[in-house]
Amino acid sequence: MKPTLPLCLATLLLAAATVFAETPATPLAMPIPADNPQTAEKIELGKKLFFDRRLSGDGTMSCSTCHDPGQGFSDGLPASLSYPTTKNWRNSPTLFNVGLQRTLFHDGRAATLEAQVAGPIASPFEMNQNLQFLEEELRAVPEYRQAFTVVFGDDNTSLERIAKAIAAFERTLVSSEAPADRFLRGDGSALSAAARQGYAVFTGKGGCLSCHPGPAYTDHGFHALRVEEHPESKDDPRLAATRRFVAKTAGLADFERLDADPGRELATGKRDDRGLFRTPTLRELSATAPYMHNGRYETLAEVIDFFDRGGGPGNTVLQPLGLDAAEKAALLAFLEEGLRSQQPPFVFPKIP
Ligand code: HEC
Ligand code: HEC
């Protein structure tokens, strides 16, 4: 993978900037933090760590277990896998263009990619690894000592450096130049007739653009669409344990009585934020089923039906749309075909 890819892309896309400031045609520029510049060696180190099962306590899981390049850096499950005997409660988001997200997680409780990394490593229901031990485990591997020295100047394998390297790798996961991008730059033939009609529904009758604008297809906001709990996990006592644990550690007073994911409240502590979830990107959707924070919907057709009937019970943000079968099919064509980019074959790293 070329380390300079995001920067080249930004330049290329800037050159092709269009006049529609708030449409998805706005150029996609990946911000790089000043204290964690991209270098080829750092990206390669981050890639190795991302695929290294040493990051999990029992050595069975790497980040890629739940963010698989073959599945749009997601995992194809309603709720992700988890550490043995525990149960994860949320759907694994794609990591394509994750460098564009202004907050991370379905509830926005992490601010930066660097800050996010320790989350899954330490989480008892995800990788369940001891963070101090991980530093020593990596220091025991000569290839890692050498790589950390090349990237950071000495062989200290600190969590901060682990996080920086992984974040640098994540910023290279870019989805752009999908048919919709070419279409919005004026190439009418980039989309099929059905997908073109679908774009009209997306921006018009469907009202999708109000929450999914710009090149990342998100307003970076939080909304309570009231997606219902997943029927398979609703009564799972292990999932309830996960929910109580997360809510307890976030300081929610009624953590024992929750029967649904409290969403954004976990990040802000505000009761008014209960049930709000971040608007996800829509790029590469065709590879990232199932959908929504809890993987409630298996297919995009089901998601479209959800929006068409005005969202979940009791929500106040969506209205029924009254789409006919042709409009739904067109919208589906746009989401599936329009937002899928051509990706070069993924080059897997060699784990030391
Ligand atoms: C056991 C499955 C699992 C593993 C392993 C895992 N993740 Fe995740 N990841 C998830 C789930 C589920 C979420 C959503 C969690 C939430 O919203 O609370 C997530 C969210 C994220 C996000 C936020 C994405 C966004 O759009 O907000 C990033 C970044 C991420 N993971 C990176 C990593 C990295 C880096 C690793 C390895 C250190 C890793 N993940 C390991 C399942 C996993
Ligand atoms: C009021 C804001 C809002 C509007 C309008 C809206 N969305 Fe969303 N969309 C969201 C939020 C928030 C979520 C995440 C909900 C959750 O996880 O519980 C979401 C989720 C999705 C998902 C699932 C993505 C994934 O990776 O899980 C798809 C697909 C989607 N929206 C498409 C659409 C389409 C198509 C329209 C128009 C018919 C639309 N949205 C209108 C806010 C909105």
127 in ligand 1 pocket by Cβ < 6 Å?
Answer: yes
Is there a domain that residue 64 lies in?
yes
Distance from residue 77's CA to the centre of ligand 2 (Å): 18
211 in ligand 2 pocket by Cβ < 6 Å?
Answer: yes
SS3 154: coil
What pTM did the predictor assign? 0.93
As a whole number of angstroms, the longest Cα–Cα distance in the chain is 62
Is there a domain that residue 215 lies in?
yes
Task: For residue 249, give both structure tokens.
Answer: 């550690």
For the domain that residue 129 is a member of, what is the CATH number? 1.10.760.10
Is there a domain that residue 345 lies in?
no
Of ligand 1's listed atoms, the one at least distance from the Cα of 55 is 38
Residues 189 and 286 reside in one and the same domain: yes
Of ligand 1's listed atoms, the one at least distance from the Cα of 79 is 12
Q: How many domains does the chain have?
A: 2
| Domain end marker among 146, 170, 194 | 170
Residues 95 and 210 reside in one and the same domain: no
Range of the domain at 218: 181-234+277-338
Task: Give, as one character, the DSSP assignment of residue 279.
Answer: P
Residues 165 and 211 reside in one and the same domain: no
Question: Which bound ligand lies closest to the C-alpha atom of 290?
Answer: 2
Residue nearest ligand 2's atom 9 by CA:
279
206 in ligand 2 pocket by Cβ < 6 Å?
Answer: yes
Residues 157 and 44 reside in one and the same domain: yes
Residue nearest ligand 2's atom 10 by CA:
279
Is there a domain that residue 258 lies in?
no
Is there a domain that residue 30 lies in?
yes
Residues 153 and 191 reside in one and the same domain: no
Q: Write down how long the chain is.
A: 352
101 in ligand 1 pocket by Cβ < 6 Å?
Answer: yes
328 in ligand 2 pocket by Cβ < 6 Å?
Answer: no
Residues 210 and 95 reside in one and the same domain: no
The pLDDT profile of the chain, 352 residues, written as one tens digit per residue, is: 333 444 444 433 433 333 333 566 666 778 999 999 999 999 999 999 999 999 999 999 999 999 999 999 999 999 999 999 999 999 999 999 999 999 999 999 999 999 999 999 999 999 999 999 999 999 999 999 999 999 999 999 999 999 999 999 999 999 999 999 999 999 999 999 999 999 999 999 999 999 999 999 999 999 999 999 999 888 899 999 999 999 999 999 999 999 999 999 999 999 999 999 999 999 999 999 999 999 999 999 999 999 999 999 999 999 999 999 999 999 999 999 999 999 999 999 999 9
Residue nearest ligand 1's atom 20 by CA:
105
What are the φ/ψ torsions at residue 151 (nearest 5 degrees)? -80, -45
Residues 31 and 69 reside in one and the same domain: yes
What are the φ/ψ torsions at residue 223 (nearest 5 degrees)? -140, 150
Is there a domain that residue 129 lies in?
yes
CA 239 to chain centre: 21
Residues 118 and 210 reside in one and the same domain: no
Residues 105 and 228 reside in one and the same domain: no
Is there a domain that residue 266 lies in?
no
Residues 193 and 50 reside in one and the same domain: no
DSSP string, 2-40: -TTHHHHHHHHHHHT--S-TTSTTS-------TTS---H
Is there a domain that residue 144 lies in?
yes
Of ligand 2's listed atoms, the one at least distance from the Cα of 224 is 12
- The Cα–Cα gap between 89 and 301 comes to 23
Residues 65 and 190 reside in one and the same domain: no
SS3 223: strand
